[in-house]
Structure 1
Amino acid sequence: MPFELDPSNPFFASAAALRQRFAEDAVARDKAGGRPTAQLRLLKESGLLTLLIPKAHGGQGERWSTVLKIVREFAKVDGSLGHLFGYHFSALQAAHLRGTAEQAADIYRRSAAGNWFWGNTANSFSKSLFGQPVADGYVLNGYRPFTSGSHIADYLHVAWEDRDTNLRHFAAIPADRAGIRVEDDWDGIGQRQTGSGRVNYTNVQVHHDEVFRFRVETAEPYQTLTPFQQQSVLLNVFVGSAQGALLAARDYTVETSRPWIDSGVERHVDDPWIKRVYGDLYIKTQAATQLADDAAAALDEAAARGRDLTEAERGRAAIRIAAANVYAGTIALEVTSQIFEVMGARSATNANGFDRFWRNVRIHTLHNPAEYKTRTVGTWFLTGDYPTPGAFR
């Protein structure tokens, strides 16, 4: 089967089985939005939430590339679940990148033991959450937008500005801490079950030992890998959505589509136009998949270097990930739109739900403009200059 993961890998086999379960009501859940609570239960039962936790701390000790291929697998039927699964690991690993070794080890052990699912309330752009220093840490007031996974999280990665100094701080805290209210008000055209709305903080206590020791001005290259993780999740949502849309469209075309009256063929699949379009879309999707694999290898290599990661090594990884991201988004938009041309008018109904693939890709590409990533790659190609680490690079 095209785009199939290696079934001999137990993690991939588990992901494929989950993907089949997720597909059963993916269209209905996309329409309903809200919280994928039953799907979270299945994820927890699968053991996949501990993939990146080192074995010494109770996890599976896997690499990012394993996680990203599973993101892709879930996104074949449900972009929201692919997004949530990938972002869980980015929030979980924040302590490793931004905290002390002791903080990271403690969080890994407790997360593995509790089988925690992680959400994000550390939006990079918004200065809407402020902390007042107190004797035991900080008291937070305000809100965070774009809080993916917060609506089903056990633990949250949170960022805020110090009310006195305006310096940004990061921490990990329980999602049920007093004063946290998850609005679950996300109303985007796609990714409808990601919970990417607003979380309000009212006099929320963050203790000193929960605050990471990260400082932007002294950050080492390995501490700036968070955007690599997040951009890698998104590009694999793009690739998985393209793969899933193409497979779903193929099945519909073979089983349901009727030939156009001027085609001169008895079966829709015998139309040379239909064959050519599917061939073109498959080739482009396969190319995007290969670039995604290369980008995942780049993230694996950078993560494995740890504190020894150099600026040049980080820069080379940034280019590989940016290039894959741009191409994946472009091809996913093309595939998820053009499938309707070859499926026919009867395919474009709400009951079929094929539009969810395009909507899921479209909304994420807007949060991650290809124009600026393309310029990043072009700048490097012309000058050899790597991008300065930032929220999206």
Structure 2
Amino acid sequence: MAPSLTGTVTGAFHQETPNPTSDPAVYDIHHQKFTSAGLPSTTEGWLERARSVSEILAEDASARDDQNKSPRAEIALLKSSGLLKLLGPKAFGGGGQGWDVAYKAIREVAKGDGSIGMLLGYHLLWSTTANLVGTDEQKDRFQKTIIENNYFIGGAVNPRDNDLKITDHGDHLIFDGQKHFNTGGVVSDLTVLEGILEGTEDHIFAFVTTVQDGITFAHNWNNVGLRLTESGSIKISQVKVPWVNALGWDIVTHKPNPAILSIPFATLLLPTIQLVFSNFYLGIALGSLQFATNYTKTSTRAWPYGGDNKTSASEEFYILERYGNFFAHLRAAEALVDRAGDEAAKIYAEYGQNREVSERERGELAEWVASTKIVTTDEGLRVTAGVFEVTGSRATGKKVGLDRFWRDIRTHSLHDPVAYKNREVGEFALLDKIPEPTWYT
């Protein structure tokens, strides 16, 4: 999630009382429907499934945001819908779709509920981590485990904090430390950990079972937006990981495999998740415009003192002008985001097996992604704040819930400053410089 203001976790780890959890039974009728229908078999079927989930979540999104319950029910809905399996190989029971489809599904879910769209996006990234930094054996093993068990994956990989400390104990590793932010961990089945092996500068990623004595959640996520993402602090104490689960490492020599971890393909993890961000920003913005449209047509009153008075708000020039402007800019943003998604899917399709993507190809994808981050941040914040201009003062009422869209984008768009993306794209446009891979690039 978003970085800490100081960049490190300081002070003692304080565990607060967990939030009450939402009840998966509230979606029983939908669980039965999705289970009976089975997984979609076409791309359009997957997107229709995402739209169905979005519509279900949108019905009470404002109330759930206000209640701030741990999203057990919402994760159960993602599970029964099959969306957690969208990227998985068909051989293991997955959807066999590409990232272009996954991004669109994330966007659809975020239209109805930004928090759950974000959780779906992070899950799809973390659940395929072994595809990027694992061996072929690890890739197949973890994909099979995740898909066959319909696991939801969380991640405790906030780069702004100190890295977790990893020590070698012969046949296994021990992870220790804490992170100011993790995403979805409280409601996850598996958690991705990342740290540095003691005595080296080498990073290790590993999947671990979430529910265990060594993992403690602070339950301190109560932020202004994305309130249902369970993105609070986490403490890792003596968590044991077999060497065989250290992604991309040689289990005999206890060394990183350079053919996996020292090539540009492994660093695709970063633009992939940055494009996840752009898609749920865009989804949230599109959701806000649709919500505002319905409100304007049913509840906004025409202004009686303009001199060219109309009988309904939807006839007023300034309201039509604003909606037209918002719609056009979001349509342009959607075209850009889809193009970036196509570029990502193309690289995965071409290099997913041989991992031979070049630095240049990786860098050009990163610039497509950086462009989307700039545009979706700027337009997302503008539209989600601007919709109040076309809905009126009564739309600021808490029971309306129109503010949640802006709060969600504002919260996550601080994850990494968009100003650096502007500079990065400027260097690419002016100097033809591709970015050096970092934790945020």
Structure 1 Cα separation of the partners of residues 163 and 422 of structure 2: 30
Corresponding position of 2:336: 291
SS in structure 2 of the partner of residue 308 of structure 1: coil
TM-score (norm 1): 0.95
Corresponding position of 1:254: 297
Q: How many residues align?
A: 387
Residue in structure 1 matching 2:58, options 12, 17, 23: 23
Structure 2 Cα separation of the partners of residues 25 and 276 of structure 1: 30
Corresponding position of 1:4: none
Residues 278-307 of structure 1, C-alpha deviation per residue, up to 9 Å, x if partnerless? 100110111111111011111111222321
SS in structure 2 of the partner of residue 143 of structure 1: strand
Check the 8 A contact 2:215/2:235 in 1, yes or no. yes
Structure 2 Cα separation of the partners of residues 257 and 226 of structure 1: 44
The one-letter code matched in structure 2 to 1:76 is K
**Are residues 1:241 and 2:241 paired?**
no
Residues 41-83 of structure 1, C-alpha deviation per residue, up to 9 Å, x if partnerless? 1111111211111122331111011111111111112111010
Check the 8 A contact 1:222/1:302 in 2, yes or no. no
SS in structure 1 of the partner of residue 413 of structure 2: helix
Residue in structure 1 matching 2:263, options 216, 220, 224: 220
Residue 26 of structure 1 deviates from its aligned partner by 0.8
Corresponding position of 1:185: 220
Residues 316-369 of structure 1, C-alpha deviation per residue, up to 9 Å, x if partnerless? 111111111110110010000011011100000110111010010011111132
Corresponding position of 1:42: 77
Please provide the CA RMSD for this pair. Answer: 1.6
Residue in structure 2 matching 1:270, options 310, 315, 326: 315
CA shift in 2, pair 1:230/1:34, >3 Å: farther
Corresponding position of 2:38: none
Corresponding position of 1:378: 426
Corresponding position of 1:89: 124
The one-letter code matched in structure 2 to 1:36 is P
Structure 1 Cα separation of the partners of residues 174 and 90 of structure 2: 35
The one-letter code matched in structure 2 to 1:202 is S
Check the 8 A contact 1:127/1:161 in 2, yes or no. no
Structure 1 stretches lacking a partner, 5+ long: 1-6
Check the 8 A contact 2:43/2:97 in 1, yes or no. no
The one-letter code matched in structure 1 to 2:412 is H
Corresponding position of 1:281: 326
Residue 128 of structure 1 deviates from its aligned partner by 4.7
Corresponding position of 1:107: 142
Structure 2 Cα separation of the partners of residues 356 and 317 of structure 1: 31
SS in structure 2 of the partner of residue 160 of structure 1: strand
Residue 174 of structure 1 deviates from its aligned partner by 1.1
Corresponding position of 1:367: 415
SS in structure 1 of the partner of residue 96 of structure 2: coil
Corresponding position of 2:375: 327
Residue in structure 1 matching 2:192, options 145, 154, 157: 157
Corresponding position of 1:13: 48
Check the 8 A contact 2:115/2:226 in 1, yes or no. yes
**Are residues 1:316 and 2:364 paired?**
yes
Structure 2 Cα separation of the partners of residues 207 and 11 of structure 1: 36
Structure 1 Cα separation of the partners of residues 278 and 416 of structure 2: 10
Structure 1 Cα separation of the partners of residues 425 and 257 of structure 2: 24
Structure 2 Cα separation of the partners of residues 97 and 367 of structure 1: 23
TM-score (norm 2): 0.85
SS in structure 2 of the partner of residue 360 of structure 1: helix
Residue 8 of structure 1 deviates from its aligned partner by 7.9
Corresponding position of 1:388: 436
Check the 8 A contact 1:298/1:321 in 2, yes or no. no
Where in structure 2 are the equivalents of 1:42-191 lying within 5 Å?
A: 42-191=77-226
Structure 2 stretches lacking a partner, 5+ long: 1-41, 250-255
Corresponding position of 1:300: 345
SS in structure 1 of the partner of residue 52 of structure 2: helix
Structure 1 Cα separation of the partners of residues 142 and 212 of structure 2: 16
CA shift in 2, pair 1:8/1:389, >3 Å: closer
The one-letter code matched in structure 1 to 2:282 is V
